[in-house]
Amino acid sequence: MLPFSSESGKTAEGIFVAPSGSDNQSGTIDAPYKSVQKAVDTASAGDTIYLRKGTYRENVKMNHQGEEHLPIIIRPFKDEDVQLKTESKEPFFSLKDTEYITIKKFTFYQEKEASVIVSSGETRSLQILDNRFRSSQGAKEKSGSAVRISSPNADSIHEDIVISGNTVERWKYSPAFSLVGNVNSFTISHNHFEKASGTSLDLQAVSGEVNGRVPSRGNVKNNTINSSGRSSEPGIAVQGAHNIVFSHNTIHGGSVGTLVRNTSFADTEDLSFKNNVWRDQTSAGTALIQGPAERPISRVSFSENVWKNAHGSRGSAQLRIQSSIRHLNVMNNEFKGNTFKGFYIDATEDISNYVTLKDNSFPSSSSAEWKWEGHKFRDLFTFQQYIEQEAPVPSSEDTD
């Protein structure tokens, strides 16, 4: 017999839940609870909640706090197959004001319009690891996200969030992963999105006061996004965010690989794209789109990326710039495989003077063109003569 406290339901090995259990039992491996909610209500810092093989339908509400070296972990027991399905229109996990929580290695099914994991309020050190998210074939327009992290209020914040190693299949309409508002110091890494019809990752500001609450200080790295060929949504959308690094991601298919824009209430600035690959978008690998004319996007850098487009239509582009940008750097990138009569770079007539565009590689045997400030170039030498320049060092006035 395993040691346990009949009052707390805890054993030396953890708290156990099974479809055949009962919430009137003690929560041991031999006498498991039936509901995840019961196990969560029993848990405290340092506990691991184990779910035994089977299917669970719940809306688990959680506002618990683990500790830095004593997180609360929710996971399947060993390698057992555990499937978690949303109940009605409610998420499976609804977290609020939590600390040091880890959810890992489950298979989640979205049913109807529900999001799957939703976190709100003042939350720190949430980890969502190595899960599988599957969208219901019955999901309709405006359905929920696989993961939605939201801190819309001025006095709430999410910090130290890690979403890593997850697989998302056939997500529709709404963004699969959505970070809204004050979400700081986050990492989104090594996730795989397959046959996505909607946006896979959306970073966005909260609507309201100008320059208000935005995701910031984030790393988005080593993710793979395979969009459906019919998808009209960007693989990644950034709509109000600060200090984000995108590195070693592969974005394949869809209309636009990555969309970056200001909004009427929040700026987008200090974005770095390095060692990413955009492949086979039909409109643009990357599109930078202006929001309010008085507030251009600021400080965007592209280095050592690859754009490879074997498909598309005339007028499409690998890098499309539809706004004035203060301090744009495009250096040491490869624009290759462009077999259609589109553009390597398509920039509007209103581009910032603070541009560094140099040391990029273009194949010599392509019919693609460059377009900059209303001029078209079919010859690389002429294009480089026209545009290649180094931006001045930003002054304090430039960066205010």
Q: What is the mean pLDDT of the chain?
A: 86
The answer on pLDDT for 211 being more than 60 is: no
What's the pTM?
Answer: 0.91
User: Domain-by-domain residue ranges, the chain?
Assistant: 53-399
- How does pLDDT run across 355-367, given as a tens digit for each residue? 888 888 887 666 7
The answer on pLDDT for 82 being more than 60 is: yes
Beta strands in 175-296 (DSSP E): 177-181, 183-189, 192-196, 201-204, 216-221, 224-227, 236-239, 241-247, 250-252, 256-261, 268-274, 277-279, 284-289
Distance, in Å, from the CA atom of 373 to the CA atom of 352, rounded to the nearest integer, reads 10
Mean pLDDT of 289-314: 81
Say if CB 386 and CB 375 are below 8 A apart. yes
Which pLDDT band, with edges at 50, 70 and 90, does 140 fall under?
A: low
* Domain at 53-399, CATH from 3.40.50.1100, 1.10.599.10, 2.160.20.10, 3.40.50.300: 2.160.20.10
The reported pLDDT for the residue numbered 197 is 84
Q: Which helix (H) or strand (E) segment is 125 a member of?
A: strand 123-129
Query: Regarding beta strands 375-377 and 369-372, do their DSSP bridges make them parallel or antiparallel, or are they unpaired?
Result: antiparallel
Distance, in Å, from the CA atom of 322 to the CA atom of 327, rounded to the nearest integer, reads 15
Which pLDDT band, with edges at 50, 70 and 90, does 380 fall under?
A: confident
What is the share, in percent, of the chain residues with pLDDT greater than 90? 54
The reported pLDDT for the residue numbered 208 is 67
Mean pLDDT of 278-306: 87
Mean pLDDT of 123-147: 85
The answer on pLDDT for 97 being more than 70 is: yes
- How does pLDDT run across 103-121, given as a tens digit for each residue? 999 999 988 778 999 999 8
The reported pLDDT for the residue numbered 203 is 95
Distance of alpha carbon 220 from the chain centroid:
7
* Listed residue (276, 274, 279) closest to 303, CA to CA: 274
Q: In the 3-class helix/strand/coil scheme, how is 216-246 assigned residue by residue?
A: EEEEEECCEEEECCCCCCCCEEEECEEEEEE
The reported pLDDT for the residue numbered 311 is 64
Q: Which helix (H) or strand (E) segment is 397 a member of?
A: helix 396-399
Distance, in Å, from the CA atom of 168 to the CA atom of 174, rounded to the nearest integer, reads 13
The reported pLDDT for the residue numbered 56 is 97
Distance of alpha carbon 222 from the chain centroid:
12
Q: Which helix (H) or strand (E) segment is 37 a member of?
A: helix 36-42
The reported pLDDT for the residue numbered 307 is 92
Which pLDDT band, with edges at 50, 70 and 90, does 209 fall under?
A: low
The reported pLDDT for the residue numbered 397 is 47
Which pLDDT band, with edges at 50, 70 and 90, does 247 fall under?
A: very high
Mean pLDDT of 242-254: 95
The answer on pLDDT for 399 being more than 50 is: no
The reported pLDDT for the residue numbered 1 is 32
The answer on pLDDT for 400 being more than 50 is: no
The answer on pLDDT for 316 being more than 90 is: no
Mean pLDDT of 58-86: 95
Distance, in Å, from the CA atom of 9 to the CA atom of 35, rounded to the nearest integer, reads 13
